[in-house]
Structures are given as C-alpha cells and as structure tokens.
Amino acid sequence: MNLENAVKFHSPKSPQFTDSPRATASEALTGTDVMGALGMVQSRSPLGFSAFNGKMELSENDKKNAIRLLTQHGLKHCGKVAALRKLETNSKLKVVQTLATFAFSSWSRSAATPGARCKDCKGTGRACNREVTERTGVFTEKECDRCGGKGFNKLPAASVYRALSSHVTADQWKKGVTQFYESLITELEKSENHANSMLRLVTTSFEEIN
C-alpha cells in the first residue's frame, strides 16, 4: 500500500481495508492495521505524512503542520546561505516561514489548482512535437517542455521574491536564496517518498503477520 491508496481509507465505503481485490482473508488489512500503519508512518516520517495529507486536502491541520515542520528544517539549514545567516532572529524566522509556505504551495500544485494549468498542454502534460509532425506529416506528441509533463507550472519565483523583498535584495535572491527555496521543495519531495516507503514497509509486515 502507498499513500495514494490510503486516501480512500479516510472515507471507506466498506469494512474491507485493502488496496487490491480480496482473494483470501489473509490478503486484507483490517481497519486496525491501516490506522496502526498510518500512525507509525506519521511518527517515523512526520513531514512527509503531513505534507501528503495537506496536499490532498485531507486535513488543514496537516497542511499547517507540514509548513511548520518545513520551517523548522529550513531554520536548521539556512545558515548555509549568507543572506539568511545575517538576518536578525525575528526576520530570519519570518523569511524562512514565508519560503516554507510558498514551497509547500508550489509543491502541492496540480493541474486542478486554479491558474496552475499549463498554457501549452492545457493540463494534459503532452504537447505537439512540431519538428516531427512537420517532418513526417503525422501529428506527434511529446512531453510538454513548458511544464515538464506535469500539466501545470510551478509557482512563479517572482511571486516568492516579492513576498521577501523587504528582507532580501534581488541580488541575494538570485545568488543564494532562490536555491535555498528550491531545496525546501526538494525536501518535501524526499519526505513524501520516505513516507511512502515507510507505509509500504509497515503494511507489508502487517500482511505477512495476517
């Protein structure tokens, strides 16, 4: 089981907790198994678990918790960036918190997010390969260059900078802060992957026991 499979267990329609058709009783996870597994994942991978739940709009509290945990992570590592290291404590907290909030917003975007849909592929992730189409006369698609096949664009970096402009100069943003911001998005991706791995590990153990 992975995190996406677990989403349906927040509003189950039947008492059988399994992400595959039931063949034998031993292949099904009980409600206690699922709740126990999710609890263990939350304990072992708090950022990844909260971030996923927040991204899927399962919990507003998880969304806030993900930003709080990401802010804590950012504060531990922002000393590597000169522009952030020199800030006073209160200003540093505000800046890192703002970066964490934007990072979560950008990371959790999808083609369904208002204003997120890519103009080139219209949210499909696929666009016309003009070179091949013109050469062969046969309409050919390729992964959209604008959005990288995601169907939506990242939150504009200019929007993030504008929110920080009273604390960070344009030069500081370009030379270090922007990379730090991208690292926060990467941390969310890594944390979600870790939470996924933990859920697979835990549920596999439960299935073996059953």
167-198 pLDDT, tens digit each: 999 999 999 999 999 999 999 999 999 999 99
Which pTM value belongs to this model? 0.76
Q: In this prediction, what percent of the chain has a pLDDT beyond 90?
A: 47
pLDDT of residue 24: 38
pLDDT of residue 17: 43
- Predicted confidence (pLDDT) at residue 51 exceeds the cutoff of 80: yes
Cβ atoms of residues 184 and 103 within 8 Å: yes
178/195 Cα distance (integer angstroms): 26
pLDDT digits (tens, 9 = 90+) for 88-98: 999 999 999 99
With b for 16 or more beta-carbon neighbours within 10 A and e for fewer, the 123-144 pattern comes to bebebebeeeeeeeeeeeeeeb
Give the type of residue at 190: K
pLDDT of residue 50: 95
Own/partner long-range contacts of 51-55 (Cβ < 8 Å, ≥24 apart): 51/104, 51/107, 51/108, 51/188, 51/191, 51/192, 51/195, 52/3, 52/192, 52/195, 54/104, 54/108, 55/107, 55/108
Helices of type H across 12-140: 31-44, 46-55, 60-77, 82-85, 89-107, 130-136
- Enter the tokens of residue 46: 């708090």
DSSP secondary structure letter of residue 174:
I
Q: In this prediction, what percent of the chain has a pLDDT beyond 70?
A: 84
50/36 Cα distance (integer angstroms): 16
Own/partner long-range contacts of 139-144 (Cβ < 8 Å, ≥24 apart): 144/118, 144/120
pLDDT digits (tens, 9 = 90+) for 103-114: 999 898 864 455
Predicted confidence band at 61 (pLDDT cuts at 50, 70, 90)?
Answer: very high
What is the DSSP pairing of strand 141-143 with strand 126-128?
Answer: antiparallel
